[in-house]
Copies of this chain bind each other. A is one copy, B any other.
Amino acid sequence: MAVTIRDVARMAGVSVATVTRALSTPEVVRPTTRERVREVASSLGYHPNRAARGLITGRTGNIGLLVPDLANPFFPSIVKGVQARALEADHAVFLADTDEDPDAEAGLVRKLAKQVDGLVLCSPRMAEQELRAVAREVPMVLVYRRIAGVPSVTAEFLDGMRQALSHLVALGHRRIAYVAGPRSSWANRERVRSLRTVAKQAGVELVELGSVTPQFQGGVSVADRVLAAAVTAVIAYNDLVALGLLHRFAARGVAVPDDISVLGFDDIPLAAMVHPALTTVALPQGQAGQAGVDLLLDLLNKRDRAVRRELPTQLMVRGSTGSAR
């Protein structure tokens, strides 16, 4: 069937040991032999069988990637980043979507764990304790979640929030609503904390609403309460919620940004496509995915242990924010 190492050995007139050495540790075989073996190998189109190699080395060359919900447009770009970086490192990516279910997540993690060298978990919804337990069993890196002792990639939320608030303050807003995401969400806690800090520093009055489901529908359902709160601007937990707000505002004839400014978080591709386009705090996505893979590969090569990387955020000013009335 497929060409094996023994075929190559036979054709090159050497032992299988020499073939594997010529290919994986070239420096230990005599140059003339090495070249002969390599030529035969490539002329036969030989590629070592991954299963066989994995059996002896214990490494699969695969990494697992877990996302809560691929339908949430925040994640595909991260997946693309992971995917691209993994490919460069000659690793394949197992993808698992947990449908926002923490229990399914725990099950999938353990299932995946046995087939990969390490895991990249995107915004995992699992309890911290359980996450930590899993981290002990299999090398893993967190993206958009932080836990002591586990390598992680996050963004500078505080700075992003500061950019957002400065922008609104510069436009004259003094009373601002925040629509919170799920209470159990690490990202939400992080955002609330940052926002409170910067609001206090800026002397801005903060009205906290929610929490809502972090989706379009969540924004729709809270929109009327936002209007009732008599604020001139609203910061949403994320872009999807912000889009829900925009949708409902449009339906009620509330003009954005003339009547109220709307600001999102994430910078999903849609944010720029709606009208008015959404002003939002851009979180690195593809870059975060890449960084996650980098950290994981470092971890696998026993280099660093618990690195924590914080990527920069950037405010994207678009049409949904304007001067306070």
Least Cβ–Cβ distance between A61 and chain B, in angstroms: 9
Q: Is the CB of B97 within 8 A of A94?
A: no
Contact A71 B76, beta carbon cutoff 8 Å: yes
Interface secondary structure of A, over-half rule: helix
CA distance A243 to B243 in the complex (A): 14
Quick check: A112 and B95 within 8 Å, CB to CB? no
A272–B77 Cα distance when bound, in Å, is: 21
Q: Which residues of chain B have C-beta atoms less than 8 A from A228's C-beta? A: none
* List of B residues within 8 angstroms of A87 by Cβ: 96, 108
Q: Does A261 sit at the interface, judged by CB under 8 A? A: no
Do A83 and B71 touch across chains, with their CB atoms under 8 A apart?
no
> Could you tell me if A83 and B60 are in contact, using CB atoms closer than 8 angstroms?
no
Flag whether A306 is at the interface (Cβ < 8 A): no
B79 in contact with A95 (CB, 8 Å): yes
Task: State whether A94 and B96 are in contact (beta carbons under 8 Å apart), knowing that A71-B269, A273-B216 are contacts in the complex.
Answer: no
Query: How long is the Cα–Cα vector from A251 to B79 in the complex, in angstroms?
Result: 33
Report if A44 contacts B (CB, 8 A).
no
Among A23-31, A48-56, A155-163, A202-210, the stretch in contact with B: A48-56
- Residue among A49, A50, A251, A275 facing the most chain B CB atoms (10 A cut-off): A275
CB < 8 Å neighbour of A250 from B70, B115, B247, B275: B275
| Cβ of A10 under 8 Å from chain B | no
CA distance A280 to B20 in the complex (A): 56
A93 → chain B, closest Cβ, in Å? Answer: 6
Q: How far is the CA of A51 from the CA of B62 in the complex (A)?
A: 12
A residues 151-175 in Cβ contact with B at 8 Å: none
B243→A273 contact, CB < 8 A: yes
Please state if B80 and A97 are interface contacts (CB–CB under 8 Å).
yes
| Contact yes or no, B270 A246, CB < 8 A | no
**Please, which residue of chain B has its CB at the minimum distance from the CB of A90?**
B111
Question: What mask results when residues 62 to 76 of chain A are scored 1 for a CB within 8 Å of chain B, else 0?
Answer: 100100001101011
A49 contacts which chain B residues (CB < 8 A)?
Answer: 55
Question: Which of A54, A92, A273 has most B Cβ within 10 Å?
Answer: A273
Pairwise interchain contact B275-A247, C-beta atoms closer than 8 A: yes
Question: Is the Cβ of A247 less than 8 Å from the Cβ of B269?
Answer: no
CA distance A27 to B71 in the complex (A): 42
Residues A246 and B275 in contact in the complex (CB < 8 Å), given A55-B49, A79-B70, A92-B94: yes
Q: Say how far A144's CB is from chain B's closest CB, in angstroms.
A: 17
A47 near B: Cβ within 8 Å?
Answer: yes
Q: Is A114 interfacial (CB 8 A cutoff)? A: yes
Q: Is the CB of A95 within 8 A of B93?
A: yes
A147 lies within 8 A of chain B by Cβ: no
Rank and list the top 9 A-B pairs by shortest CB-CB distance, nearest first.
A250-B275, A51-B54, A95-B95, A70-B76, A51-B51, A51-B55, A83-B97, A216-B273, A92-B94
Q: List 17 A-B contacts (CB under 8 A).
A: A49-B55, A51-B55, A52-B55, A55-B55, A70-B76, A70-B77, A70-B83, A83-B95, A87-B108, A93-B95, A216-B269, A243-B273, A246-B275, A247-B273, A247-B274, A273-B274, A274-B274
